Amino acid sequence: MAIKANIVIDQGTTFQTSINVTDDEENPVDLTEYSAAAQMRKHYTSSNAFSFTTSISPNLGIVTLSMTANTTNTITPGRYMYDCELTDPNGAVSRLVEGIVTVTPGVTR
């Protein structure tokens, strides 16, 4: 079951957040040979999506989601939905995290 985590992205700024993947005893999960993918959309059925860049620190059990300032600048302020999925070395896909993204408008141009 995916954890729920809402995030805020300031339009026109660099965004980054990290997710610690741990076992039941709070030890980091070895993510060697795992891959990750994450997107945000206005609605579940929206065809237009914004993809996060994902990176994995396998031995630390950390998945990082990021977007450049150029990318966040193109996103209309408002509420969106997102999730991040992990694919294990055998091809099994699981949802790691999901939630609401609030994009706040920028003023500085």
* Per-residue confidence in pLDDT tens, the chain, 109 aa: 679 999 999 999 999 999 999 999 999 999 999 999 999 999 999 999 999 999 999 999 999 999 999 999 999 999 999 999 999 999 999 999 999 999 999 887 7
Instruction: Write down the pLDDT at residue 1.
Output: 66
Confirm whether 109 is domain-assigned: no
Confirm whether 84 is domain-assigned: yes
CATH of the domain at 73: 2.60.40.10
Instruction: Write down the pLDDT at residue 29.
Output: 94
Instruction: Write down the pLDDT at residue 89.
Output: 96
Query: Which residue stretches of 12-101 are H helix?
Result: 69-73
Confirm whether 73 is domain-assigned: yes
Instruction: Write down the pLDDT at residue 109.
Output: 72
Confirm whether 58 is domain-assigned: yes
Count up the domains in the chain and report the number. Answer: 1
Contacts with 95 (C-beta within 8 Å, 6 or more apart), sequence order: 2, 83, 84, 85
Confirm whether 55 is domain-assigned: yes
Distance (Å, rounded) from C-alpha 53 to C-alpha 65? Answer: 6
Confirm whether 8 is domain-assigned: yes
Instruction: Write down the pLDDT at residue 108.
Output: 79
Q: Residue 9 is part of which domain span? A: 3-104
Instruction: Write down the pLDDT at residue 22.
Output: 92
Query: Which residue stretches of the chain are H helix?
Result: 69-73
